[in-house]
Amino acid sequence: MPAIPEFILRKLYVPGSLKASPDGFELQLNNTLAAVTLTGLGLTADEQPCDPQSILLRLPSGQEISAAAVSGDQPFSMTVNTLIGVQVRAPMPRKRLVVRAETREAGTLQFSLPLAGGRPGEKGQSGLLGNLRRKLQSARRAWRTRRDPQHPAYHFTPPANWMNDPNGLICWRGTYHMFYQYNPYDAVWGNIHWGHASSPDLLHWRHHPIALSPDPDGADAGGCFSGCAVDDGGRATLIYTGVFPETQCLARSTGNDLLTWKKHPRPVIPAPPEGLALEGFRDPCVWKEGPAWRMALGSGLRGQGGAVLLYGSQNLTEWQYLGILYQKDPQPTKAVPTGTMWECPSFFPLGEKWVLLLSVCATEGPMTTIYYVGDYHANRFIPQGPARRLDHGAGGCFYAPQTFLSAGGERLMIGWLREARSQDEMQRAGWSGAMSLPRRLSLDKDGGLTCAPLAETARLRREDRQPSSRPSAQMEILAQVQPDAAPWSGVYLEAGPGEAVQIGFDRQQGAVVVDCRPAGGLLSTLPLEKNVEQLDLHLFVDGSVLEVFVDDRQAISARFYVKQPQALRTQWVGDVRASVWNVQKQV
Ligand code: FRU
């Protein structure tokens, strides 16, 4: 079973809950992922394993269980959205706390909370000095990030630190705004704020101050999770998930530059609907339907799988539950796992159809993005076929995408390109995560969703416009491949001995293959459904980011880590005609 990424597991920890107690320390865990049966729980504080006898679990009912009493014979059922207090009689860790849970369903789940520079989920030292220290640290990290050749130059990232999902994508008065899940204090997930940038063309971005910060006394004290932006009669409005518990919150802009926001005093949806055993209740996607608003919300039905809840409202502040918009198809195909819970739904009309994009969260199986195309009637979505993969990159590299309308009314999508390296490496680098280039969506005649880069992306090519053979970390490559000419035809990107990425068509597998394994990344495979006479591969290489578009229809996103990406050279294998451009720094 593939490991669950650590940043997901870290969501089990309630931010800011780790505190010294009279006889040791305490913290809180909240399982927001999926119900699991715990057969053991261990803690390691500053590399010292804590004695299980010294760990006490406190349930909301007041019941107390010693970690030493939890075993395969006496398991402990960790249901969803139950706050568990953990009290430990051991010295408060100063550098690192590792939480290790043995579970029946998902094996060993282990995550660490790095504590250096403040407790996880807290801003650390408060006051003027603390602020100054954090600003200095961030400036230092941004300085290092700018000089890091693995850092992308024309894919959007914040100046430093951690970023995940794109949020609130909107074209507002002719300017594109992108918000994003952002930890301003570290290069790992936690302390989630909404970062903000804007762009005239989706290619050149300008950074802005943080748009939303957790309010210690508010419903979003534990973080401002993902959400969307809408135009409410001329006023930009953000609807997002506040945690913990998960509630839906709202903020309205106080100006047209979207730089300042006023939060609604209370959550607009304070709790999940009664009577449903849900796993997750987050990531609102809101749209206008006639005079009314509709919201699709990511969730899962315990023991059944992913579900999207539908809500309705007249004014964005009072919402009514309208039922389940769509829940996991009863017979999902093995090739496209649909997981236990769906994050970040994006639901929108395209041509005559409706499309549902989902980010699959699972305690078992890979994290991926999937889509359904179908019809939407009477508050229900009826897909016309099974789930399909939205992006074919391994390891869920492309995740949590959002869609929005361009100024010209085209449906565009941007997703988060997750790192394929460890937390320690991300912290050493001082940054983590990049956005994909914007992708234009359309439907093909077989009801498949196709995605292609914007034609305008060609403006990023360097002015010489000469197909280039100079080594570079930033390249755009157009390769026409004759699939039948050789067992393997494609492109090698080589940075040094043994450090290479291979992108091409494998005749035996009948698949496009992106192999980043010799460069610290993963192997992605996209089997082609039909025999083709020619394949157009459109590659965007950027430091450690690789986006591959196949025939301007399907995408493979990948990350790779070579020591000197600026030394990347291209080589062609098999029957390939290619053009290469160096691409300029834009962000
Ligand atoms: C997806 C996600 C969302 C959540 C956000 C928190 O990557 O897990 O479900 O709102 O990230 O950062």
Q: Report pLDDT digits (tens) over 186-232.
A: 898 888 999 999 999 999 999 999 999 999 889 998 899 999 999 99
pLDDT in tens, 359-407: 998 766 678 999 999 999 999 999 998 999 999 999 899 999 999 999 9
- Which residues on neighbouring strands pair with residue 392, listed in sequence order? none
- Which residues on neighbouring strands pair with residue 110, listed in sequence order? 100
pLDDT in tens, 503-532: 999 999 999 999 999 999 999 999 998 778
Higher pLDDT, 120 or 443: 443
Q: Which of 31, 37, 33 is nearest to 4 (CA)?
A: 33
Does the pLDDT at position 555 exceed 90? Answer: yes
- When pLDDT is averaged across residues 462-486 and rounded to a whole number, the result is 80
The secondary structure of residue 12, as a DSSP letter, is: G
- Confidence (pLDDT) at 5: 67
- Confidence (pLDDT) at 519: 94
Same CATH topology for 6-114 and 457-583: the answer is no
Distance 282 CA to ligand 1 centre (A): 8
- When pLDDT is averaged across residues 495-508 and rounded to a whole number, the result is 92
**Ligand 1 mutation target, pool 181, 285, 299, most atoms within 8 A of CB:** 181
- Confidence (pLDDT) at 23: 85
pLDDT in tens, 573-584: 988 888 888 887
Does the pLDDT at position 554 exceed 80? Answer: yes
Domain boundaries, the chain: 6-114, 148-152+161-452, 457-583
Residue 559 · residue 420 · CB < 8 Å: yes
| Residue 31: other Cβ atoms inside 10 A | 19
Residue 226 · residue 167 · CB < 8 Å: yes
Distance 343 CA to ligand 1 centre (A): 7
- Confidence (pLDDT) at 470: 79
How many Å apart are CA 161 and CA 153, to the nearest integer? 15
**Ligand 1 mutation target, pool 180, 192, 226, most atoms within 8 A of CB:** 226
Q: Which of 366, 373, 323 is nearest to 351 (CA)?
A: 373
The secondary structure of residue 120, as a DSSP letter, is: T
What CATH number belongs to 6-114? 2.60.40
Please give the single-letter amino acid code of residue 387.
Answer: A
In three-state secondary structure terms, 566 is: helix
- Confidence (pLDDT) at 586: 63
Helix ranges, 85-176 (H): 127-147
How many Å apart are CA 441 and CA 415, to the nearest integer? 13
| Pairing, β 545-550 against β 535-542 | antiparallel
Distance 463 CA to ligand 1 centre (A): 39
Q: Which of 464, 460, 467 is nearest to 437 (CA)?
A: 460
Given the residues 46, 165, 375, 515, the one annotated as active site: 165
pLDDT in tens, 312-341: 999 999 999 999 999 987 666 777 888 889
How many Å apart are CA 471 and CA 493, to the nearest integer? 10
Does the pLDDT at position 550 exceed 60? Answer: yes
How many Å apart are CA 14 and CA 396, to the nearest integer? 25
Higher pLDDT, 14 or 32: 14
* Tokens describing residue 164: 């995940």
- Which residues on neighbouring strands pair with residue 25, listed in sequence order? 20, 88
Does the structural domain 457-583 have CATH classification 2.60.120.560?
yes
Across 362-433, the runs of DSSP E, i.e. the strands, are 368-377, 380-383, 388-389, 398-405, 411-417, 431-432
- Confidence (pLDDT) at 1: 35
Residue 395: which region, alpha, beta or left (left: phi > 0; alpha: psi -120 to 50)? Answer: left
Q: What are phi and psi of 113, to 5 degrees?
A: -115, 105
Q: What is the 3-state secondary structure (H, E, C) of 506-526?
A: ECCCCEEEEECHHHCCCEEEE
- From the number of C-beta atoms within 10 Å of its C-beta (0-12, 13-18, 19+), residue 50 rates as buried
Which segment of 90-94, 296-300, 411-415, 571-575 scores lowest on mean pLDDT? Answer: 90-94
Residue 23 · residue 253 · CB < 8 Å: no
* Tokens describing residue 501: 């990425």
Known catalytic membership, residue 232: no
Sheet holding 223-232, edge to edge: 223-232, 235-243, 247-253, 261-263
- Which residues on neighbouring strands pair with residue 224, listed in sequence order? 242
The secondary structure of residue 123, as a DSSP letter, is: -
Please give the single-letter amino acid code of residue 111.
Answer: F
**Ligand 1 mutation target, pool 243, 297, 344, most atoms within 8 A of CB:** 344
Closest C-alpha to ligand 1, atom 9 = 343
Question: Which residues line the pocket of ligand 1, CB cutoff 6 A?
Answer: 164-165, 181, 192, 225-226, 241, 282-283, 343-344, 359, 399-400
Does the pLDDT at position 120 exceed 70? Answer: no
Residue 228 · residue 345 · CB < 8 Å: no
Closest C-alpha to ligand 1, atom 12 = 225
Record: fold of 148-152+161-452:
Tachylectin-2; Chain A (2.115.10)
In three-state secondary structure terms, 153 is: coil
How many Å apart are CA 455 and CA 101, to the nearest integer? 48
* Tokens describing residue 124: 């650390």
The secondary structure of residue 28, as a DSSP letter, is: E
pLDDT in tens, 428-467: 999 999 999 999 999 998 889 999 999 988 888 876 555 5
Element of type H or E holding 223: strand 223-232
Distance 446 CA to ligand 1 centre (A): 32
The size of the chain, in residues, is 587
Average of per-residue pLDDT values in the chain: 89
How many Å apart are CA 556 and CA 99, to the nearest integer? 34
